[in-house]
Amino acid sequence: MELMSGNEAIAQGAWEAGCTIGVAYPGTPSTETLEAFAKKEGVYAEWCVNEKVAVEVGIGASAAGARVLVTMKHVGVNVAADPLFTAAYTGVGGGMVILAADDPGMYSSQNEQDSHYYAQAAAIPCLDPADSAEALRFTREAYDISERFDVPVIIRSSVRISHTKTPVEAGERAEAPARPYEKNPAKWVMMPAFAKPRRLVQLDRIDKLRQWVETCPYNEVIEGKGTVGVVCAGAAYQHVAEALPDASIFKLGVTWPLPAAALRDFADSVEAVYVVEEGSEYLKDAVRACGVPVSDTPCPLPRAGELSPGLVRAAFGLEQPSHAPAATDLPGRPPALCPGCPHRLVFKELSRMRAIVTGDIGCYTLGALPPLSAMDTTVDMGASVSMAHGFELALAGTEHRPIVAVIGDSTFAHSGLSSLISTVYNRGAGTVCVLDNRTTAMTGRQGNPFNGVTLQNRPSRELNIEAVVAALGVEDVRVVDPNDAAAVRRALKEATGSDDISVIVFRSPCVLLERHVEPPLFVSGSCTACGACVTLGCPALGRDETGRALIDPALCIGCGHCTQYCRFDAIVQE
């Protein structure tokens, strides 16, 4: 028996099932799954440029007969939806399991969404583990389900399941010889002539899945002492079990398709049925569609964010357990770019020039927060470049502030490159800043095509951003050191003054990669309390009661960013 997070357990389950290939694009809360899988014996694992590519690689490996694991976060499922929906027609060769890790509460995401809807829309079976032991078991057995019904299987997790460690009993690996590949265009070539018959295959599969789910071992009824019945799945089950110890619970392990007859039998055994789920009404609507009358809780459940036992008790009008009141006098701790972050001066200069900045997904999104306040939009991966083109189109012929897109190196490979191709093709203007910090920093410093680091440290090809951009036909491409304030200011001024499209590659490694630290800086007696340095938003910088600058030596890494903005030479090296 050992403790594993849900992500580690999913990796273990895939390995035990004989899965040999794992593919993904890193995205919290799913990232650690493939990192854990990559350390197993006898497997191949890689980071793909995006989730769509990962699913397509997975489909290819499955078609060739291998068992495959594909992992992503919930918004990654949006990117992967195109091949995912068609894979529900083609079916599989070797078993194919897809982890969709949802993020209720948006701890590291731009939205809340429920991946159950994708399973329902694509008609792909979906399993919801409620702890790490189930995550391991469900994943291991999902490969047999996938091959039995000739369909990919979704393991739907959430941030609480993915990151909480609970006991598991790890098992041995069962080797699964690759299924021999046989040419079969009627199965794999989804042109209309073949897709129409595959649609009928899918419909027949759905009927068989609906029969199977009624007696499958993944749904469980926990009989209680009272008359209340609750239907729930995943992390919500843990909260319900703690909050309502007397309730009867129908714990769904399979959330698509639902066991309609079993749910109706459950409803007959209690006086009232309630559905408890996080930030969605998927389950409530689906249970009602099974012919089960669902009652509303006395008080509404929260419509957003994660649940807790306290929130569940409150929804049922029950007294809250006694607890100490939350402290109200604690100072705020807003997130900030790290001390020495190479993105800081870029945002400082964009703020100074009052640019309209279309941002992207990554830790540099923190450039939107005070005191930098240098980002206007963030929507999805790659949107910065496309939206900048949209701004240019809408404001054409008017006097307007400079329009600048900001995107990281990994995100540029993910979907920014295709956005730039579209802009170049349509002779768009504007400035694109690629913040090349040599890693995929936000999700834990994974490799990407532009730093050439692979998941299992295999030999690779490091792609050259400026060469790729120049090959697209962009003539104004330059590489700039983002730690040099004067160089950053000059490059931005020249690029935004052009009538053509310009790309600036700001290249400097993330401070967490090399962790290079110089002696900390300190503030001399010549400080005039002008406050220019603290506008950089560095966590190491603050002010004393007189307004003079302060530097925390425990946080300062001696990068010298602040010295470039002090007109009085008051910040010096010890």
Half-sphere exposure for 88 (CA within 13 Å, toward CB): 24
Global pTM reads 0.94
> Which pLDDT value is given to residue 155?
98
Q: Is the pLDDT of residue 320 over 90?
A: no
> Which pLDDT value is given to residue 60?
98
Q: Is the pLDDT of residue 559 over 80?
A: yes
Side chain identity, residue 563: T
List, for residues 534-557, the tens digit of each pLDDT value. Answer: 999 999 999 999 999 999 999 999
**Secondary structure, 3-state, 536-557:** HCCCCEEECCCCCEEECCCCCC
Side chain identity, residue 157: S
> Which pLDDT value is given to residue 524?
93
Q: Is the pLDDT of residue 157 over 90?
A: yes
Q: What percent of the chain has pLDDT over 90?
A: 94
- pLDDT-derived band at 325 (thresholds 50, 70, 90) equals confident
Is 91 in contact with 190 (CB distance < 8 Å)?
Answer: no
Mean pLDDT value of segment 78-102:
98
Q: Is the pLDDT of residue 329 over 90?
A: no
**What DSSP string runs through 278-316?**
SS--HHHHHHHHTT---PPPSSPPPSSS---HHHHHHHT
Q: Give the H or E element holding residue 136.
A: helix 132-149
Distances (CA, A) of 148 to 144, 169, 200, 251, 444: 6, 25, 17, 24, 36
> Which pLDDT value is given to residue 442?
87
Instruction: Give all strands of the β-sheet with 44-47 in edge-to-edge order.
Output: 44-47, 21-24, 68-73, 96-102, 153-158, 126-127, 254-256
Residue ranges for the known binding site are: 527, 530, 533, 538, 556, 559, 562, 566
Mean pLDDT value of segment 32-47:
98
Full set of structural domains in the chain with CATH = 2-214 (3.40.50.970), 220-316 (3.40.50.920), 342-507 (3.40.50.970), 521-573 (3.30.70.20)
- pLDDT-derived band at 178 (thresholds 50, 70, 90) equals confident
- pLDDT-derived band at 321 (thresholds 50, 70, 90) equals confident
Q: Where are the alpha helices (DSSP H) in 444-550?
A: 465-471, 485-496, 511-514
Region at 142 (left for phi over 0; alpha for psi -120 to 50; beta for the rest): alpha
Q: Is the pLDDT of residue 249 over 90?
A: yes
Q: Is the pLDDT of residue 246 over 80?
A: yes
CA–CA separation, 510 vs 169, rounded Å?
A: 38
- pLDDT-derived band at 259 (thresholds 50, 70, 90) equals very high
Residue ranges for the known binding site for [4Fe-4S] cluster are: 527, 530, 533, 538, 556, 559, 562, 566
User: What Rg value do the Cα atoms of the chain yield, rounded?
Assistant: 27
The distance in angstroms from the start CA to the end CA of the chain is: 52
Hey, which bits of 134-223 come out as E strands?
153-158, 165-168, 220-222
